[in-house]
A and B are shown apart, each in its own frame.
Chain A
Amino acid sequence: MYFDAIAKIVSERTGCDISTIKPESKFSELGIDSLDTVELLMNLEDEIGIEIELDQKVETIDDLDKFIQSKQG
C-alpha cells in the first residue's frame, strides 16, 4: 500500500489538505494532468525507494497505488 506516500506527495504538490485525498480521488480533480503523474512517480521513487516506469495512464490515486503494487510483485 502506497496510498499514504502518494497522498503526501500530491498534497505537497497541489497544496491541498491531505485529509481530503481519498483512494478514489481522480488526479484530474486534484489538478494533476497525465504528464504530472510521470513526475509524481519519479518523486515517489525517492520517497519509497523503488524505481518504476509509468507505461500506462492512471486515473485515480488507487489506480497508481495498484499499478506500483503490480510492478512490485
Chain B
Amino acid sequence: MSNILNGKVAVVTGGSRGIGKAVSQKLASLGANIAVIYSGNDSAARNVEEYCEKNYGIKARTYKCDVSNFTEVKETIAKIKTDFGTVHILINNAGITKDGLAAMMSEEDFDRVLEVNLKGAFNMIRHTAGLFIRNREGCVVNISSVAGLIGNAGQCNYAASKAGLIGLTKTIAKELAPKGVRCNAVAPGFIVTDMTETHADNPLLKMIPLGHMGDVEDVAEAVSYLVTAKYVTGEVLRVDGGIAM
C-alpha cells in the first residue's frame, strides 16, 4: 500500500499550505513525485518540497503560478512536463475567499474568487488533459466545499465557485472516461486551516453532527482514496463531520 503511487507524478495546486500541503505530503507518502503549485509563499512551498523529498525519497519541485492565468498555467505545465516527463494526477486545491453579503459585494471580489477557484481548475485541466489522454490514464480531484452543496451566508462567490467545481468535475468525468481518465471531487466541511480561522465563532460549528472541525489530514485521506479508487469517477465525497448530509 505504501508505494501504490510509485513513479506517478502528482500536481497539487495551492500545495504550500493547509489542505494542499497535507495532500502533497499524503501523495508523497504513497510514492508519488510531487509538483507543488503555489501563489505566493515561497518558503512554505520550499518546506513542503524538502519535507516530501527527505521523508519519502521522492522527487518534489515547486512552481509559482497564478492558476487563474491561462497562459501562466500553460507555461507552468510545460515546465512540469520538462522536469517530470508527464503528469498522472492533478489535485485542484487552490482556493481563496473574499467573504461578504451578496447585497454588498463588489464585482471585483465576486470575479476574483470565481477566477481562482473555478477557472483556475479549468485552466489546470485544460493544460493537463492532453497528457492524460496520451497516457490513457489520469486522475483529477477537485477540492470543492460543502458551501457548494448547501450554501453559506456571506460566501456567495465562494459557494458559487465550489458548486461550479462539482459541475466541472462531473463533466470532465464524462468527457474523459473513454480515455481512462477519472475526475472526482472532495467537499470538505469546516477544516482547521488558516482560511477558517475567521469561522471560529461561526454558529454552524454547533451543527456538525460529529461535534468538531476536521483536520487537513482527514481531507488528504479522502483525496488519496479517490486517487487510488480505480472504479470511482464523477463522485463528490463529503468530508464534513456530517454537516451536509
**Chain A interface residues toward B at CB < 8 A:** 35, 38-39, 42-43, 53
Contact = CB atoms under 8 A, between A and B. Distances in A.
A16 B176 CA distance: 25
A43 B134 contact: yes
Chain A interface secondary structure, helix, strand, loop or mixed? Answer: helix
A35 B175 contact: yes
Chain B interface secondary structure, helix, strand, loop or mixed? Answer: helix
A56 B33 CA distance: 33
A39 B178 contact: no
A35 B176 CA distance: 8
B133 interface: yes
- The number of chain B residues touching the other chain, given as a range, is under 10
B242 interface: no
16 contacts: A35-B133, A35-B175, A35-B176, A35-B178, A35-B179, A38-B129, A38-B130, A38-B133, A39-B133, A39-B134, A39-B179, A42-B130, A42-B133, A42-B134, A43-B134, A53-B130
A60 B220 CA distance: 45
Given A35-B179, A39-B133, A42-B133, 13 more contacts: A35-B133, A35-B175, A35-B176, A35-B178, A38-B129, A38-B130, A38-B133, A39-B134, A39-B179, A42-B130, A42-B134, A43-B134, A53-B130
B214 to A, nearest CB: 37
